[in-house]
Amino acid sequence: MADDVLLVLAIDRSRVQAERSILTDEQKDALSRHVEQVRSGRIPRNTMEANVQPVAEAMLPPTTRAFIASTKRLIFSPHRSLHLTPLHAARFDGRFLIEQASVRYAPNLGSLLLPWRGAETGAVVSVGINTFGRGLPPLKSAEVEAQAIAAAWAAQGVAATTLIGEQATRGAFTGLDLAACRCLHLVTHGESVYATALQGDPFASRLCFADGDFEALSLAELPFRADLVVMSACHSGQRALALPGGSELPGDDLFGLQATLFQAGVRSVIGALWTVDDASAGKILPELHRRLAGGARPEQALQLAVCAYLQAPETKKAIYYWAPPFMSSMGRMRDA
């Protein structure tokens, strides 16, 4: 509503609640710092929560938190720069929100009503590339992660194709029957829409393959019909907020890799809000797929995988490490 005023709507099957939240100076400063850190890539690994928590408390004031206290499934539809806030990593009553409920995000509430017809059954494709050349740093565990994902599905009798290393070319990928794939997992490099070279161009985000890159608009032309695409790639869930030159983008339309995958026909996308930590992703994402292969809904599978990570004694609990993966959806969901 204004730079320091939020209108928070909470809706379930039978109730609607509206609440006005006025940001304090501390909350406005925290939001500005968080957005700048995400856009610049200079994120404080162990103190990120100091910025996220005040913003989350403004977005979910006490009356709203009471409204959602008993729910097990949450859908958030933030506005503009608030899309960069990992609400699932907010901590209330001693636990993270994702420990209370499964969490997914939507561009807007109307998008949840769109019909979707795609591949809820069928094969799985898992792509992993360790070494790229062309100045890109190696991803030491990418191929191991991709193979672990394929193995999780194969253990449940689901056909799983892997494209590993030099075999993971653009031609090999587009040569697959992508329209028949229920799930795609991509362990690769992603480029932030805020990267200097892209100058904030909302259509220039990209995913890297062994022999070159797929820009966002090229991905939109592929025949994806997957129930879920998982991008284990840095910055792959970021969305542009303004055009080159500073003009604010209209409304809350999505621009970036999420938008192109939705345009191609995907129902749900898991991407990363910032840099992916290899060790954490290597624990969370294979567990996500084990849950999916066992029949869990995508948002539930992500919740269970993150909770398993948080409960393990040896893992890093700072939100920088585990909170980048988040799920966005377009269209009606199963059992919704």
pLDDT in tens, 20-31: 999 999 999 999
Is the predicted pLDDT of residue 141 greater than 60, yes or no?
A: yes
Is the predicted pLDDT of residue 272 greater than 80, yes or no?
A: yes
Is the predicted pLDDT of residue 153 greater than 90, yes or no?
A: yes
Q: Is residue 118 part of a domain?
A: no
Q: Are residues 250 and 156 in the same domain?
A: yes
Higher per-residue confidence, 3 vs 200:
3
Q: Is residue 334 part of a domain?
A: no
Angle between helices 142-154 and 278-293 (to 10 degrees): 10
- Which of 33, 4, 87 is closest to 273 using CA atoms? 87
Which pLDDT value is given to residue 120?
84
C-alpha 257/C-alpha 204 separation (Å) is 9
pLDDT band at 297 (very low <50, low <70, confident <90, very high): very high
Q: Is residue 41 part of a domain?
A: yes
Domain that holds residue 78: 5-113
Q: Is residue 274 part of a domain?
A: yes
Task: Report yes or no: 192 and 182 within 8 Å, Cβ to Cβ.
Answer: no
Which pLDDT value is given to residue 205?
79
Is the predicted pLDDT of residue 201 greater than 70, yes or no?
A: no
Q: What does R_g of the chain's alpha carbons equal in angstroms? A: 19
State whether residue 332 is helix, strand or coil: coil
Task: Report yes or no: 281 and 7 within 8 Å, Cβ to Cβ.
Answer: no
Q: Are residues 50 and 91 in the same domain?
A: yes
Which pLDDT value is given to residue 253?
55
pLDDT band at 233 (very low <50, low <70, confident <90, very high): very high
- Final residue before a domain boundary, out of 62, 90, 113: 113
Which pLDDT value is given to residue 295?
93
Question: What is the average pLDDT across 108-129?
Answer: 88
Residue 243 phi, psi (nearest 5): -80, 160
Lowest average pLDDT, out of 44-58, 79-93, 111-125, 315-329, goes to: 111-125
Paired tokens of 40: 């610049």
- Final residue before a domain boundary, out of 57, 82, 113: 113
Q: Are residues 304 and 280 in the same domain?
A: yes
Q: Are residues 150 and 299 in the same domain?
A: yes
Is the predicted pLDDT of residue 240 greater than 70, yes or no?
A: no
Q: Are residues 193 and 283 in the same domain?
A: yes
Q: Is residue 254 part of a domain?
A: yes
Is the predicted pLDDT of residue 336 greater than 50, yes or no?
A: no
Q: Are residues 134 and 103 in the same domain?
A: no
Q: Is residue 70 part of a domain?
A: yes
Q: How many domains are contained in the chain? A: 2
Residue 180 phi, psi (nearest 5): -100, 0
Q: Are residues 144 and 290 in the same domain?
A: yes
Q: Are residues 274 and 245 in the same domain?
A: yes
Length, in residues, of the chain: 336
Q: Are residues 86 and 223 in the same domain?
A: no
Q: Is residue 336 part of a domain?
A: no
Is the predicted pLDDT of residue 292 greater than 90, yes or no?
A: yes
b/e sequence 250-287, b meaning 16+ C-beta within 10 Å = eebebbbbbbbbbbbbbbbbbbbbbbbbeebbbbbbbb
The sign of the dihedral angle between the CA atoms of 163, 166, 168, 171 is negative
Q: Are residues 87 and 128 in the same domain?
A: no
Q: Are residues 208 and 297 in the same domain?
A: yes
Q: Is residue 335 part of a domain?
A: no
The order of strands in the sheet holding 190-191 is 190-191, 206-209, 212-215
- Domain of residue 323, CATH code: 3.40.50.1460
Which pLDDT value is given to residue 24?
96
Amino acid at 20: R
C-alpha 293/C-alpha 122 separation (Å) is 12
Report CA dihedral (205, 56, 299, 73) to the nearest 10 degrees: -150
Paired tokens of 58: 């403004």
Is the predicted pLDDT of residue 244 greater than 60, yes or no?
A: no
Strand partners for 6 = 21
- Final residue before a domain boundary, out of 113, 133, 148: 113
Which pLDDT value is given to residue 255?
65
State whether residue 196 is helix, strand or coil: coil
C-alpha 5/C-alpha 255 separation (Å) is 25
Percent of the chain topping pLDDT 70: 91
Q: Are residues 109 and 137 in the same domain?
A: no
In angstroms, what CA-CA distances link 118 with 154, 317, 336?
21, 36, 16
pTM: 0.93
Is the predicted pLDDT of residue 8 greater than 60, yes or no?
A: yes
